[in-house]
Structure 1
């Protein structure tokens, strides 16, 4: 032991020094790469990047004369194209930066505009390159379009309480929201004129309109819609199945565009795009569509330029609260206290505006002031049918049970139906007054000015029970020292707290909806812990304390003796369990692994393929397979022996393992045949991936035979196709590759309109 500790300390010192060096290097790199702000990103350094593509003399001359080109940057279309603190971000921006690196062009991003404004500037020649847009006949007349670099099917986004549909004719007579300048607007005007369209500033605003019930639906790419819902907390929204309309689906492919008066610029960019490999695109998708990608820009709540101008001009938001509801909200020495005060402070910081409290004496007075327009918002209020007539509500940000409070001697209360013939107190202005009395006519409900009055009346036996939100009840029982009261049951009601905004204040409603959804779980927990997790002094019963200590000591002694015996037994069991676990894991690995190559064996790859086929059918996704056969492998075995053949198989398996996508599964199908399962990949994508593997194989030098080639057969799962049918079509394609000369990729083309099951 004396030798071990100095060694550990020495190792720790080395690691600590390395950590310090790495941290300083990271900070220095971050500082050196930090953009200067504004609209130009990446910053110009006076020279152009070195091109990584072969340019013609004419293209090189053009590049030398135009080292910097202007590129669009939309303000709010994550994860593709958006701005954080003036810095361009997103999948499309990272892709453009790759094109800049590969082409030698330097990009100056133009931001601070809506999509509609950027499109107009592009066609006016004020922007050289417009990216992440779809192709339309009108646009093709004026611009060149790249091949698609991203595709995700269009879906409808609906409220969860709306009927499920993916049929466009179900939208006729209804209102939908679409961002200004989107090609889908012209599609609906041409093909579905009975659909009413509200043009909004961004995709996020379109989803907000659906969430707030202002429109029936919006149309968006499935991947982007799912990103929005997860990142921004649109929990009341759902996605439809894919829209079955080929013309509309064409608008879901992403391209970049260059005006036709700049053919050399388009040629340079197209060459740069051609250098990107599947792994390049895979890294971008992993970055922006993963959980980590959704966390980028969390501090930005997505206010539009119009909304920011609105807040600047408004200066303050007048606020009324429902008083005497601690720990939620109350007045203390003419100051607002409670959870509402803290949430308003968070809202003010996020919005860059102030909230002015309009004092009121009751919940009824506060609601009347909102109805008259004297107050802009009520920050903690429950939505009811009556209130919807004069208040627009945000999504909820707090949710509490409504509890039944009784005196200590009462038993468990199963629900309000158990209180028939009893008197139950409810504070005036509570949302429960709208529904509870008519649903429980046999119960006598008594109104009280505030929750404290209600609880004091219950403690004094003037009523039999009280109906209160759980945090309000527990806080005031402790604060008032009402030790003879308890929570006896759940009413079945939920106090779902939202921000209420005066009717027809659309800009304000949109702003408050965004700031509500931006509240983090950490913010909610810290506010709750501050106001609800409080300690109070109570009288101590010393007689009871000594009885507890005496009985506890005896029980503790018995537990210690028993525990000592259990510890010895548990150690033996733990050792045996650990040994069994290691052996089980090893057996499991052996049962699904090919012993020579370390890839999945035939049984495991079949089971994986069956599982992916089930998932593909359930979620209507793409699934492809690549069947690979090493060319002339029998000749290798016959000429050099089976040991050399095994070396070739192992080296090929290593290449396969390192060059397929993380989501793919590769296995040995038999002999010199291998199979790769490619989830979320269509026929074109899997064919490109197979071609990449084929080229990679030709670059590898094997120890004895030197070079080795392979033939590839690719197939994409068809509707209602079995596993055997899919493999058979891939095998047919592989046979065709063999018969056409080997060392090539062939795919199983079909005449079906759609490869999706």
Structure 2
């Protein structure tokens, strides 16, 4: 019995070893594929944005010469830094050419106001700038701190200690100028340059200044490492790009580029440019934070009741002894240490129970929670304490999936009431989601082929796959979103999130890495017995045979893969809602018809349709009814055209009809026929649906784009002539005698 048990134990360990080897290989391949896909991803621009970039091949943004490492002027005239790298990635993603110029900050603002340059980089949203600039979403958020000279000779530890002290402010830094207005009992000195400011601080001419990680970086760069952080301020500096107000397309392009930059990518760039600053963590040397009197009163308001996810390792769990454990448990211990307080665990048996308790104020804090709009009704949130990729797990026999849209109607398990479910539903509303009660239940259903896949955090899935010894499950896709785990605070305690953020920011990267390795690193309980080697060799031999067999099986799938490729090609050229050719295919088909028309000297016409007042249908009846109307209109129009005609969805509620071998008069008659048919058809009870049309015949002396321009102009005339009408566009010819 003992020998059999030992053999069984060895077999399990061998299988687990082999599974881990294969699984790590799959993860590496998938990760490489994801990185490659991310590097090839580009932004889809509107025609207006594309036209804007053609008309503005270079867009120049100004910044301050002294704001390193955000912008750095190099000896060769080039500009590098964090901002430059962010803009370079945006240029790669959008095809734009945003460039930087540096100089005096006040001069840059003056030039931006006069349109001598096109906007500002390294900017903050200041009321005075909104008169001439429109701002993007933030591309970097920096924690604002109060800095003093090395050693903190005046023992400035909180806001109260600043009374009667002298604060130095860089004159051109409007954000700090606004911030300084709060310190009415301090003397404010305005200085022209950061170098002048640092010198004044080192000599004792001033007592303190505001700054962030960039301030420390530049101080070291100038050979003036005189600063140390005394304490963090509740304010954060959101850096944005400001663009001249008459260029909304540029703002839209920048935001689209920023939206494709993942948190990990921005963090990589930030780490590269800020990593040289060895003193950035000076404030983290002491374990306990120095709190103001008001902050101390808040912390002492015991008890502090804590709710957690009771069964979601490696992030959070309540073990059999009733103790809180996991990544967030260790982080909460550090926060309690920094604030010199204690959180009292309120045990629960399910996540839903924990959420209900804090909803009804029977808990004060809840960890491992993802901020959502629904939860904002009863919670406020800290900054994320941990970020995890969201992944799709499937069985080993499934192909790699580029994204969730290829899953179709196959059932996907997601833990009920989780923040992940909200994120997935928002981005993939048509996904067939199956609620599961727990991660264990979801993986069990997946292993038994009762669902196609299971979605959760990468670390959570890896933990439970390892724990339950699932050897038939793999990661098939990394989704384009991250799970941001924060601390939720009851809504009527707004004073707590800034305090918790202060403690979170005080936790060093080294401490986070130690926690990560403790809970997420691979562990080996004991050395592998050499007797296992013979078993491994035998199994590897079997695997070699299976690889050969699999190769022969794969050959039989070539035909199926060819069919799949054809289906994918159709999906790429077909509008998903109406099943008509999309704009890409319409472009190709129209160019083909133009070539045939020019070669054989045959007429060719086109019609551009647009449904009248379609937005009112969506607003009144909802987008589902609007989609149904588009589908019905497609069907009715398709019945009215010839087999040789090409009807496609041009975009939104616009349709393009290409009519080979058709004169202008013939196309007008066809457009009128369709217009009358649509007007007489009943799509929605009590409401008439009509359309307007622009018609044009192709002229041998024009190109595709000029034909489209004439179609669009004709449609515009039809719209402005009362709608439900057909308008034509003719090319006027001049005869020479």
TM-score by length of 1: 0.39
Structure-2-length-normalised TM-score? 0.40
Bigger CA radius of gyration:
1
